[in-house]
Amino acid sequence: MAHRVIILGAGYAGIAAALYLNKNKKKDDLSITIIDKNPYHTLLTELHEVAGNRVDEESIRISLEDIFSDTDIRVINDEIKDFDFQKNHLISSNLVYKYDYLLIAVGSSPAYYGIEGLKEYCYPLWSYEDSIKIREHIKDCFRRASQINDDSERARLLTFVVGGAGFTGVEMIGELAQWIKPLCRRYGFERSDVRLVIIDMLPEILSLLDKKSIEKSHKYMEKKLGIEIHLETKVQKLTEAKVITDKQEIDTRTLIWTAGVSCGDIAGHAEELEKVGGQQCLRVDEYCHTIYKHIYAAGDCVSFLDDNNKPFPAMVETALQTGEGAAKNILNAIKGKKQEKINVELHGTMVCIGNYFAVSNIMGKRLPVWLSIVMKYLVNAHYLYQIMGLRGSAKYLKDEIVHRKQDKNFFEKHYTRKMQAWWAFPLRLFLGYMWLYEGIIKITEGWFNGPKLAEFLGMRRGYEIAADAVAAATSSGLRIDNFFNLDLKIFHIIIGHATRLMEGVEIAKNMYAKIEILDFRGWSLMPWMIKSLALSSQGGEMFFQITITLLEIIVGLMLLGGVFTFFGSVGSLLLIAMFVTTTGIYDYTWWMVFASIAAMGGAGRAFGLDYWIIPYVNRVLESKKKNGRLRLIFKKD
Ligand SMILES: Cc1cc2nc3c(=O)[nH]c(=O)nc-3n(C[C@H](O)[C@H](O)[C@H](O)COP(=O)(O)OP(=O)(O)OC[C@H]3O[C@@H](n4cnc5c(N)ncnc54)[C@H](O)[C@@H]3O)c2cc1C
């Protein structure tokens, strides 16, 4: 019979474990089941972005069916209420699940430390639902404040307090500082009507960061965002209308609580398992074993100790590495191999305070603000790539950069506008037709039969005669009159008029543009390359001209069919780049540059084969990544 492995909790640790088992089980007879109370995985690290109305709630939850599609992992949506460790049972309201190996990865929940009124009146930021509740509450506060005449109640409604100046609290108040600007505009308030307060009992914010980053963040929050920072301040009581601290009382209808972590409720119910510390996390050894050798635990719900017996912080990296390490040890146990010590390595931390400020410390290096912001995007995109493939990271980046809902600057407002792909469909067809036409014309002109390239480029084999030199020497041919010359040495940009002459009479006149690359004292890179590569022998010339013709035909067909349109458009740009740096291009073909750029933005998804090809390719790559083997045929969805 197959070994039954159950993973309880589809958070960061649970998903990492399930995917590891699925990919590495090879021929082991294993049934892998993941159970979660929600049908989705929540990106907990991004909750503040929903609470602060930066992104839509759908961007922080990912369907478990989507994550585990095309794998051998069974997903069960159920809430486990109890354990029977003697019988190896997990118990929900209606069902009992049997396992041979269990991994508990139920995460953490907020801690209220018995503070009077806190649990009843605060807004914890710990789940998908919490983030929506906070967002709607803040909108409601502004709405109500704009409708009442009572000044003190208005001030209370417009005072927002965050409890806890760790990563979550600071990121939350940073989001709020950003969001209140459009809210004030919408409801007719001044920024000075709104109070933003953050409270912590420690003497500094973001205590896990280095001193310089702490000071920088503190200054930015106070001076730029107008946030009041109350340190060494303990929340002692919360009522519906005020926060009472050991130093003062703050009239408010909002306390967002981010200050305490306790181990998952259900892990707390696992009475037979050992707990440690005030947070009551599960005790595990260096293999992520609990006291039972077939029961493992990982992620936030455990206290996983480093070599100095200090627990690793409850962070995503800890969860991923303990989850994967536990999965590896489950496989080791099944195979009868030795258990392996799990070495957690943390690479750094980063905190974003609103849209335009971030601090980070990656592998001991403090990064500048812009790089910290980029790192945050890259880290999240990488995580989503791990669990959802390219579509995961693409969706994340789109949600963050294009679909962002918050206040946007002038530039952002413009680049985030969306357009339906089918608007670019006729342009894509026309561009494709032009390349195909160009290629076919070259075939009919004999480009496959004999040397033509030198003539086309206005050059002679082995040595060069510039087109304008030909024109100058005869009364028939092409005359180039440059009227714009920008010589940057690396690029020499020339714009002029190209006039075709027949026995001294002008028969056509067009604008013409050319870019010469690395143009020094009569020596230029492209003519040199052409002369020494393409025109050095007849075979070379034939090879290059056939390649150009075929490329034109292939790019044309790709664009016409909407097949890998992005790459087709890049090919189109490269061909244009080749022409503009060799022969130069006339004004009647300049449109192709702009059409190629426009076609890059998904033009093949509308009335093109990319509609089917791109999802299929993503599926093949994702399945290869998750299963460790190539699969080309899938069941119909
Ligand atoms: C607001 C916020 C911001 C954060 N920001 C950062 C950050 O910037 N960087 C960072 O590194 N870390 C951050 N963290 C911490 C990080 O999110 C956690 O360390 C990580 O989520 C732990 O992963 P996990 O798998 O242990 O638990 P979780 O991700 O919490 O997953 C636990 C899963 O178990 C499920 N579950 C729980 N009980 C049951 C039950 N009884 N039955 C069935 N299913 C159950 C839950 O539904 C959930 O899906 C943040 C945390 C929060 C709350």
* pLDDT, position 468: 43
Closest residue by Cα to residue 435 from 262, 305, 287, 555: 555
| CA–CA gap between residue 500 and residue 505 (Å, rounded) | 8
* pLDDT, position 469: 39
pLDDT of 162 above 60: yes
Q: Mean per-residue pLDDT for 492-504? A: 86
513 within 8 A of 484, measured Cβ to Cβ: no
Mutate to test the pocket of ligand 1, among 45, 57, 284, 360 (most ligand atoms within 8 A of CB): 45
| C-alpha 302, offset from chain centre | 28
Structure tokens at 406: 């918050």
- 180 against 409, higher pLDDT: 180
Cα angle at 397 between 394 and 400, to 5 degrees? Answer: 145
Alpha helices in 497-601 (DSSP H): 525-529, 538-561, 565-580, 591-600
CB of 527 closer than 6 A to ligand 1?
A: no
Q: Mean per-residue pLDDT for 11-28? A: 93
CB of 131 closer than 6 A to ligand 1?
A: no
- 18 against 516, higher pLDDT: 18
Q: Mean per-residue pLDDT for 75-95? A: 95
CB of 297 closer than 6 A to ligand 1?
A: no
Cα angle at 61 between 615 and 66, to 5 degrees? Answer: 35
DSSP 3-state of 432:
helix
> Which numbered atom of ligand 1 lies nearest the CA of 313?
19
For residue 311, report the distance from its CA to the centre of ligand 1, in Å.
17
CB of 129 closer than 6 A to ligand 1?
A: no
| CA–CA gap between residue 258 and residue 199 (Å, rounded) | 10
Q: How many helices (H) and strands (E) does the chain have?
A: 20, 30
**CB count in 10 Å sphere of residue 184:** 17
Structure tokens at 21: 């088992």
CB of 14 closer than 6 A to ligand 1?
A: yes
End-to-end Cα distance, the chain: 29
Least confident of 91-95, 104-108, 319-323, 503-507: 503-507
Residue 83 exposed, middle or buried by CB count within 10 Å (0-12, 13-18, 19+)? buried
* pLDDT, position 454: 85
8 within 8 A of 326, measured Cβ to Cβ: no
CB of 13 closer than 6 A to ligand 1?
A: yes
Q: Mean per-residue pLDDT for 358-378? A: 92
* pLDDT, position 472: 41
- Token look-up 């002692």 returns 236
| CA–CA gap between residue 458 and residue 30 (Å, rounded) | 69
pLDDT of 133 above 50: yes
CB of 136 closer than 6 A to ligand 1?
A: no
Tell the residue nearest (CA) to atom 12 of ligand 1: 315
> Nearest 5°: phi and psi at 411?
-65, -45
- Token look-up 């309201």 returns 93
Mutate to test the pocket of ligand 1, among 77, 300, 373, 379 (most ligand atoms within 8 A of CB): 300
479 within 8 A of 498, measured Cβ to Cβ: yes
| CA–CA gap between residue 498 and residue 264 (Å, rounded) | 75
* pLDDT, position 464: 42
CB of 314 closer than 6 A to ligand 1?
A: yes
Mutate to test the pocket of ligand 1, among 296, 315, 321, 383 (most ligand atoms within 8 A of CB): 315
Tell the residue nearest (CA) to atom 23 of ligand 1: 12
Listed in sequence order, the residues at least 6 apart from 518 whose beta carbon sits closer than 8 Å to its beta carbon are 489, 490, 524, 525
Instruction: Collect contacts of 146-152 with beta carbons under 8 A, ≥24 apart.
Output: 146/187, 146/188, 146/189, 152/251
Tell the residue nearest (CA) to atom 53 of ligand 1: 126
| CA–CA gap between residue 434 and residue 575 (Å, rounded) | 12
Q: 200: pLDDT confidence band, cut at 50, 70 and 90?
A: very high
Length of the chain: 637
Residue 77 exposed, middle or buried by CB count within 10 Å (0-12, 13-18, 19+)? middle
pLDDT of 471 above 60: no
Structure tokens at 46: 């991004």
Q: 364: pLDDT confidence band, cut at 50, 70 and 90?
A: confident
Tell the residue nearest (CA) to atom 20 of ligand 1: 316
pLDDT of 466 above 50: no
Render the burial of 331-351: b for 16+ CB within 10 Å, e for the rest.
Answer: bebbeeeebeebebeeebbbb
Cα angle at 636 between 633 and 637, to 5 degrees? Answer: 125
Structure tokens at 522: 């009569």
Q: Can you give 286-307 as a three-state secondary structure string? A: CCCECCCCCEEECHHHEECECC
4 within 8 A of 98, measured Cβ to Cβ: yes
Bridge partners (DSSP) of residue 297 are 104
* pLDDT, position 186: 96
For residue 107, report the distance from its CA to the centre of ligand 1, in Å.
5
| CA–CA gap between residue 225 and residue 615 (Å, rounded) | 42
Q: What is the pLDDT of residues 224-233, one digit of tens each?
A: 999 999 999 9
CB of 172 closer than 6 A to ligand 1?
A: no
Instruction: Kindly report the average pLDDT of the chain as a whole number.
Output: 91
Q: 205: pLDDT confidence band, cut at 50, 70 and 90?
A: very high
> Which numbered atom of ligand 1 lies nearest the CA of 265?
38
Closest residue by Cα to residue 392 from 608, 625, 630, 562: 625
CB of 316 closer than 6 A to ligand 1?
A: yes
214 within 8 A of 173, measured Cβ to Cβ: no
Percent of all residues in the chain with a pLDDT value above 90, rounded to a whole number: 74
> Nearest 5°: phi and psi at 116?
-60, 125
Q: What is the pLDDT of residues 31-73, one digit of tens each?
A: 999 999 999 999 999 999 999 999 999 999 999 999 999 999 9
| CA–CA gap between residue 14 and residue 107 (Å, rounded) | 9
* pLDDT, position 331: 96
CB of 513 closer than 6 A to ligand 1?
A: no
For residue 31, report the distance from its CA to the centre of ligand 1, in Å.
25
* pLDDT, position 475: 54
pLDDT of 463 above 60: no
- Pairing relation of β-strands 101-104 and 3-8? parallel
* pLDDT, position 470: 39
| CA–CA gap between residue 322 and residue 152 (Å, rounded) | 50
DSSP 3-state of 481:
strand
* pLDDT, position 337: 94
Q: Mean per-residue pLDDT for 147-158? A: 97
Least confident of 50-59, 116-125, 243-252, 453-462: 453-462
Structure tokens at 185: 């505009």
Q: What is the pLDDT of residues 612-631, one digit of tens each?
A: 999 999 999 999 999 998 99
For residue 20, report the distance from its CA to the centre of ligand 1, in Å.
19
* pLDDT, position 467: 44
For residue 319, report the distance from its CA to the centre of ligand 1, in Å.
8
Tell me how far CA of residue 413 lies from CA of 148, 309, 406, 417, 555, in angstroms: 33, 50, 10, 7, 33
Least confident of 270-274, 298-302, 488-492, 554-558: 270-274
Render the burial of 549-581: b for 16+ CB within 10 Å, e for the rest.
Answer: bebbbbbbebbbbbbbbbebbebbbebbeebbb
Q: What is the pLDDT of residues 397-425, one digit of tens each?
A: 999 888 888 777 888 888 888 889 999 99
- 132 against 268, higher pLDDT: 132
Least confident of 253-257, 415-419, 594-598, 627-631: 415-419
For residue 279, report the distance from its CA to the centre of ligand 1, in Å.
15
CB of 352 closer than 6 A to ligand 1?
A: no
CB of 83 closer than 6 A to ligand 1?
A: no
pTM: 0.87
pLDDT of 560 above 80: yes
CB of 358 closer than 6 A to ligand 1?
A: no
For residue 124, report the distance from its CA to the centre of ligand 1, in Å.
14
Percent of all residues in the chain with a pLDDT value above 70, rounded to a whole number: 96
- DSSP states of 336-362: TPPP--------EEEEE-SSS-EEEEE
CB of 38 closer than 6 A to ligand 1?
A: yes
* pLDDT, position 7: 98
> Which numbered atom of ligand 1 lies nearest the CA of 92?
42
604 within 8 A of 610, measured Cβ to Cβ: yes
| CA–CA gap between residue 359 and residue 437 (Å, rounded) | 53
- 453 against 288, higher pLDDT: 288
Listed in sequence order, the residues at least 6 apart from 208 whose beta carbon sits closer than 8 Å to its beta carbon are 166, 167, 313, 349
Q: Mean per-residue pLDDT for 478-483? A: 83
* pLDDT, position 473: 39
> Which numbered atom of ligand 1 lies nearest the CA of 323?
25
CB of 11 closer than 6 A to ligand 1?
A: yes
Least confident of 253-267, 366-380, 382-396, 551-565: 253-267
Mutate to test the pocket of ligand 1, among 36, 172, 266 (most ligand atoms within 8 A of CB): 36
CB of 79 closer than 6 A to ligand 1?
A: yes
CB of 33 closer than 6 A to ligand 1?
A: no
| C-alpha 547, offset from chain centre | 37
Task: Please report the sign of the dihedral spanned by the C-alpha atoms of residue 411, residue 416, residue 420, residue 426.
Answer: positive
Radius of gyration of the chain, Cα coordinates, nearest whole angstrom: 32
